[in-house]
């Protein structure tokens, strides 16, 4: 029995969508940089997760395009090992059943001959595997290779769509290094692909709990009426990592946490939290509202940056019970580095819904634990009746994106006994408990959407450029102003000074 005929697991939301009429077409997926870790650890395990759940078409093929001198057998062996290590349960069997769908194409990214022979290979796959001329090109390479690949796809006609056939390109982050490079890259993409053919991928948007932000807001009548400046005091969005930069010191030195995490992951989550209800759930209707949020965030003047941002780096300390070195001692980091590994930013969304309600974003490495969450802090009651008139704690609606996916609500409840004493309690929803089964990997959802031509969870050109506009203004302020670079010990929640930027009576949550 082929994977495409297997009955989808009822607990898999992607399978439910397939049953609801959302279909993928036969196609060939070309992965540029297929010998790298992303293909082995994420892309092929995700494809096999889809295959296991019956979500891949029978007529499907994968071509790995890279410079390493491999043959098909070596390529398949490497991919099978990746599925065994990083895939969901039972996906190795799915790979074994579909191993002949994977082939390898050795070529240099800048060599026109490699693309002409690729075209011939894809035409042959259309005949042999029935992929009907539909192609998806995945740029799983360092950004330095994007230009060559995009130019050659356009020059050889591989980017052109023919009647009844699609051609799409998936571009991994980072999408540019600043606004100027993002605009230049967008122009390169546009030379070969129309915007509807382009899928700029941010794996955070494929996470179930990120998508659930829209469901929580717009499928429940009790939340949306409170989702505004009248009732919300402030919002905290946190992406914390317990790991350091490891062997990526050279890359990280060029980006820093602001560009590496806040420009994409955190700003994307912010748009989902702050956006207005879209007229429909079509890709452009959703992305139009997200762009409106970004346009409502003003560019910082250099003199405003020190009061609205904070940057720091980790020093040696104790993380998860282990002594770890500081950032300046990491491989590839120069001794005179001024790169931040922790950043906190206060943003204002200047529109009717959010006027006066600050959004606080923070991201960092070598923090106490790995966690991503959104905390909606509601305003306190106007008058304290209980506990001798002491101010009660505010209600918090917590959206946990990882690792313990779910939603919780903190509210006050009376402690049993004769006195009217209030204690915080929590209502808790967890994905694993409520739905059971395995949660689909983010890449599964995003690859499925790309095959279906649904760009809702992918960044549009104007989203990327508006996010860079905001981040670039912060960087200019850091490098032309007097914003200090603080330090904090590894295994702590950042420098103490970070609390000061929240204002009186507010503190960062300790997840």
Catalytic residues: 265
The DSSP letter of residue 459 is B
Residue 338: is its pLDDT beyond 80? yes
Inside any domain, residue 408: yes
Let me know whether 142 and 242 are in one domain. Answer: no
Handedness of CA 203, 205, 210, 212 (dihedral sign): negative
Whether residue 452 lies inside any domain: the answer is no
* DSSP one-letter string for 212-268: HHHHHHHS-TTTGGG-STTTEEEEEEEEE-SS--GGGHHHHHHHHHIIIIIIIIIHH
pTM assigned to the model: 0.90
Q: What is the pLDDT of residue 3?
A: 39
Q: Note the pLDDT tens digit of each residue in 10-65.
A: 344 444 444 344 568 999 999 999 999 999 999 999 999 999 999 999 999 999 99
Q: Which helix (H) or strand (E) holds 44?
A: helix 44-52
pLDDT band at 440 (very low <50, low <70, confident <90, very high): confident
> Does one domain contain both 23 and 91?
yes
User: Would you state the pLDDT for residue 248?
Assistant: 79
Q: In this structure, are residues 83 and 3 in contact, taking their beta carbons and an 8 Å threshold? A: no
Same domain, 287 and 150: no
In percent, how much of the chain has pLDDT > 70? 93
For 260-303, what is each residue's pLDDT tens digit? 999 999 999 999 999 999 999 899 999 999 999 999 999 999 99
Q: Which residues contact 59 (CB under 8 A, 6 or more apart)?
A: 26, 27, 129, 130, 131, 132
Same domain (yes/no): 324, 389? yes
Q: Do 139 and 287 lie in a common domain? A: no
Q: What is the CATH number of the domain that holds 346?
A: 3.30.360.10
Residues 210 and 166 in one domain: no
CATH number, domain containing residue 72? 3.40.50.720
In a domain, 185, yes or no: no
Domain enclosing residue 295, as ranges: 206-436+461-502
Instruction: Record the tokens describing residue 96, joined without a space.
Output: 């074994």
State how beta strands 322-324 and 342-348 pair. unpaired
Q: Would the pLDDT of 7 be above 80?
A: no
Question: What's residue 2's pLDDT?
Answer: 38
pLDDT mean over 116-143: 95
Asked if the structure places residue 178 within a domain, the reply is no
Residue 52 and residue 91 in contact, taking contact as beta carbons nearer than 8 Å? yes
- On whether both 120 and 244 belong to a single domain, the answer is no
Task: Quickly state the pLDDT bin for 390 (edges 50, 70, 90).
Answer: low
Is 156 within a domain?
yes
71 and 156 part of one domain: yes
**170 neighbors 199 (Cβ within 8 angstroms):** yes
Whether residue 360 is found in the same domain as residue 494: yes
Q: Enumerate residues 6+ apart whose C-beta is below 8 A from 354.
A: 228, 229, 274, 296, 348
Please report whether residue 85 resides in a domain.
Answer: yes
Q: Looking at residue 15, what is its pLDDT? A: 44
Percent of the chain with pLDDT over 90: 70
Q: Inform me whether the pLDDT recorded for 431 exceeds 90.
A: no
pLDDT digits (tens, 9 = 90+) for 460-475: 999 999 999 999 999 9
Work out the pLDDT band at 387, boundaries 50, 70, 90: low
Question: Are 128 and 227 in the same domain?
Answer: no
Looking at the domain assignment, is residue 441 inside a domain? no
Residue-level pLDDT at 404: 82
Please tell me the predicted confidence (pLDDT) of residue 475.
Answer: 94
Q: Give me the mean pLDDT over the 144-167 stretch.
A: 93
Q: Would you state the pLDDT for residue 286?
A: 94
Please tell me whether residues 214 and 167 are part of one structural domain. Answer: no
Instruction: Note the pLDDT tens digit of each residue in 464-505.
Output: 999 999 999 999 999 887 789 999 999 999 999 998 999 878
- Average pLDDT score, the chain: 89
| Predicted pLDDT of residue 23 | 67
What number of other Cβ atoms are within 10 A of residue 509's Cβ?
A: 15
Q: What is the pLDDT of residues 237-267, one digit of tens each?
A: 999 999 998 877 888 898 899 999 999 999 9
pLDDT above 90: residue 405: no
Number of domains in the chain: 2
On whether both 167 and 231 belong to a single domain, the answer is no
Residue 456 within any structural domain of the chain: no
Nearest to 15 by CA among 44, 86, 59, 23: 23
* Per-residue model confidence (pLDDT) at position 454: 93
Confidence class for position 212, pLDDT limits 50, 70, 90: confident
Question: Rounded to whole angstroms, how far apart are CA atoms 182 and 417?
Answer: 62
Identify whether the C-beta of residue 401 lies closer than 8 Å to the C-beta of residue 431: no
């Amino acid at each position: 029995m082929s994977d495409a005929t297997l009955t989808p697991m009822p607990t898999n939301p992607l399978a439910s969508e397939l049953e609801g009429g959302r279909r993928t077409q036969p196609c060939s997926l070309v992965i540029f940089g297929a010998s790298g870790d992303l293909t082995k650890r994420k892309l092929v395990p995700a494809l096999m997760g889809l295959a296991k759940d019956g979500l891949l078409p029978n007529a499907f093929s994968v071509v790995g395009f890279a410079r390493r001198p491999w043959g098909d057998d070596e390529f398949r062996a490497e991919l099978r090992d990746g599925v065994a290590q990083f895939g969901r349960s039972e996906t190795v069997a799915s790979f074994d059943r579909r191993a002949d769908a994977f082939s390898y194409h050795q070529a240099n990214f800048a060599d026109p001959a490699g693309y002409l022979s690729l075209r011939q290979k894809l035409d042959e796959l259309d005949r042999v595997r029935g992929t009907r001329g539909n192609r998806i090109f995945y740029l799983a390479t360092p950004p330095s290779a994007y230009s060559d690949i995009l130019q050659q796809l356009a020059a050889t006609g591989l980017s052109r769509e023919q009647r009844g056939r699609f051609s799409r390109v998936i571009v991994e982050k980072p999408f540019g290094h600043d606004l100027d490079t993002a605009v230049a890259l967008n122009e390169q993409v546009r030379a070969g692909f129309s915007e509807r053919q382009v899928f700029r991928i941010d794996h955070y948007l494929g996470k179930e709990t990120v998508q659930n932000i829209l469901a929580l807001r717009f499928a429940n009548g009790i939340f949306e009426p409170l989702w505004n400046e009248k009732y919300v005091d402030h919002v905290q969005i946190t992406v914390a990592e317990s790991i350091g930069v490891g062997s990526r010191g050279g890359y990280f030195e060029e980006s820093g946490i602001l560009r590496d995490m806040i420009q994409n992951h955190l700003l994307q989550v912010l748009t989902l939290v702050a956006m207005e209800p879209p007229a429909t759930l079509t890709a452009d209707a959703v992305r139009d509202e997200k762009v409106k949020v970004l346009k409502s965030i003003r560019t910082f003047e250099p003199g405003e940056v020190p009061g609205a941002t904070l940057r720091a780096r980790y020093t040696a300390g104790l993380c998860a019970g282990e002594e770890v070195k500081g950032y300046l001692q990491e491989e590839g980091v120069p001794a005179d580095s001024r790169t931040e590994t922790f950043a906190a930013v206060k943003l204002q969304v200047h529109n009717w819904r959010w006027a006066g309600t600050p959004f606080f974003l923070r991201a960092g490495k070598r923090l106490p634990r790995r966690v991503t969450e959104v905390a909606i802090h509601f305003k306190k009651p106007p008058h304290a009746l209980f506990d001798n008139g002491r101010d009660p704690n505010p209600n918090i609606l917590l959206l946990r994106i990882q690792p313990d996916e779910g939603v919780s609500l903190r509210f006050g409840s009376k402690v049993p006994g004769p006195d009217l004493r209030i204690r915080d309690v929590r209502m808790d929803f967890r994905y694993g408990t409520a739905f059971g089964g395995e949660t689909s990997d983010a890449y599964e959802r995003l690859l499925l959407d790309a095959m279906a031509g649904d760009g809702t969870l992918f960044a549009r050109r104007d989203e990327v450029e508006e996010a860079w506009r905001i981040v670039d203004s912060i960087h200019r302020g850091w490098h032309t102003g007097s914003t200090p670079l603080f330090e904090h010990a590894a295994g702590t929640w950042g420098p103490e000074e970070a609390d000061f930027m929240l204002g009186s009576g507010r503190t960062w949550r300790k997840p």
